[in-house]
Structure 1
Amino acid sequence: MDGIVSAAPSSFCDTCTVRNRAICSDLSREELGVLNGIGRMRKLRAGEQLIWEGDEAVLVANVIDGLLKLSSQTSDGREQILGIAYPSDFLGRPFGGSTPYGVEALTDAQVCVFERRDFDRFAREHPALEHKLLERTLSELDRTRKWMLLLGRMNAEQKLASFLLQSEERAGGADENGSFDLQLSRQQIADILGLTIETVSRQLTRMKAEGLIDLPSRRTVTILDRQALEDRAE
């Protein structure tokens, strides 16, 4: 079933929770008004596909809430996860013909979607947005390189330590208690990192026993010894 789509309210950009981190952060109030007019807010259920690999690039989107995975199919039909999209991330291929990867919601999510042709036209007319797109493209390339290193060259302990550090950073940092919410189940983490759920659980238990982290709840993590965790990640 398709996600729920509704027209964005006139004040949506003003009340957007990722407004200061998204690609539209440098736009003037008037420019935001124009962009707001061509955008739509869409809610996705966990497991719902937003973009299909290889399809014509008909939309782009800003992630407002939730997590989504970027993936591609290998020649033998296996899924290769290319990365995770967090709130404020930009999805899709502006100025492109087809999409090089699929995008699926890992959790219930909310995105602001734009018809690609409308967005392309707006970007050409607003250099500040084009500049942000270039910055995001370069940042995405850097993250993809790190992700490929994480999946291809690290052992289980390094993978999980790197994932925890990345998750805290992408979640916007820890709260006043030094904790952050993973949002993902242990099975999802295992699938993303190419591990078994038993390995993920065993590594988390070991890190907790060694004083690197605490686990106040099943999806909450507190980093107690950042330097030690960074050392494990490397």
Structure 2
Amino acid sequence: MPSEAPARCAACAARNRALCAGLADRELAALHAIGRRRVLSAGQVLTWAGDPAIVCGNLVSGLLKVARQEADGRTQIVGLLFPGDFAGDPFDTRATDTIAALTEADLCIYPREALARTLEQHPAAERLLLRRTLATLTAARRALPMLAHARAEARVAAFLLDMAYRAEVSGDRPFVLPLSRGAMAEALGLAIETVSRHITGFRDDGLIALSGLRGIRLLDRVALARRSG
């Protein structure tokens, strides 16, 4: 039987990694009925911490950062969201963190209250959202020490390894970094000069190879992992 999924869902590159993964066409149609596409430009905010939680969304392409205000007034990036990740909490009436675009980001946006009602009517979707949320939290916890406490070299090395993992690239196959060095610096809490210096150092030490503006190959993952701490 041919798929009856909405055309945008059927063509979505992140469908197999997102909330929608494994949903029947009927459940996809229910989500599609309350959703809409939204494209954020780099730097644009999806939700502000402390504001009423109005929307949630599946990230289809691009990267988002999750930031939290510390007690001393500093803003700390506490996580990154990648295609397939879910942004926001449909069951929380107030946003805990600020979520903003690091690059241009394409999302499927759902009104929070409508999504909560839809999930109650479709338990399979609710279970998938829970699994996706737990996976995103696990990834954020893994990245948090790197983002907050590690030496600059360790942050950059860990970030490159995570980018390869997210891109599902094995061995030394080439891939394209999804963000500029300026965006990397912002995500890692470093100066762009620091990021560039360590990437050049990894290249000079034979750990990576670079091509063009963002092309990269990880030539020695073991050594890079040692640099990541």
Same fold (TM over 0.5): yes
Measure how far apart 1:75 and its partner are: 3.2
Pair 1:111 & 2:107 matched: yes
**Structure 1 counterpart of 2:11, which letter?**
T
Contact map agreement 2:53 2:95 (CA 8 A) in 1: yes
SS of the equivalent of 2:21 reads helix
What is the alpha-carbon distance in structure 1 between the residues aligned to residue 98 and residue 143 of structure 2? 16
Q: Percentage identity across aligned positions?
A: 42
Paired residue for 2:57? Answer: 61
How far did residue 172 of structure 1 move?
3.5
Q: Which residue of 1 aligns with 2:28?
A: 32
In structure 1, the residue matched to 2:181 is 186
Q: 1:71-107: CA deviations, max 9, x gaps?
A: 1222343211011111111001111111111111111
Specify the alignment match of 1:206 in structure 2: 201
Contact 2:103/2:183, CA 8 A, preserved across alignment: no
Answer yes or no: is the 8 Å Cα contact 2:6–2:28 preserved in 1.
Answer: no
CA contact (8 A) 1:86 1:171 kept: no
1:142 aligns with 2:143: no
- CA distance in structure 2 between the partners assigned to 1:64 and 1:230 by the alignment: 29
Q: Write the deviation string for residues 128-164 of structure 1: whole angstroms up to 9, x where unpaired.
A: 1121122122222222222221133321221111000
Residues 1:230 and 2:225 aligned together = yes
Q: Distance in 2 between matches of 1:11 and 1:223?
A: 36
What aligned pairs does 1:1-234 form with structure 2 within 5 A after superposition?
A: 10-173=6-169, 178-234=173-229
Cα distance in 2 between the residues matched to 1:31 and 1:194: 40
Q: Unaligned 5+ residue runs, structure 2?
A: none
The two structures, once aligned, show a CA RMSD in angstroms of 1.8
Q: Distance in 2 between matches of 1:163 and 1:46?
A: 19
* Cα distance in 2 between the residues matched to 1:172 and 1:50: 27
Number of positions where the alignment pairs a residue of Structure 1 with one of Structure 2: 225
Instruction: Return the alpha-carbon distance in structure 2 between the equivalents of residues 130 and 34 of structure 1.
Output: 13
Alignment check: 8 A CA contact 2:65 2:102 kept? yes
Q: CA deviation at 1:191?
A: 2.2
Counterpart of 1:180, as a letter, is F
Aligned letter for 2:39? K
Alpha-carbon distance in 1 for matches of 2:95, 2:169 = 31
Mapped partners of 1:46, 1:74: distance in 2: 23
Indicate the SS of the match to 2:10. helix
Change (3 A) 1:145 1:177: closer
Counterpart-to-counterpart distance in 1, 2:122 and 2:175: 36
Give the ranges of 4+ consecutive aligned residues of structure 1 lying more than 3 Å apart after TM superposition: none
- Point out where structure 1 has 5 or more consecutive residues left out of the alignment: 1-8
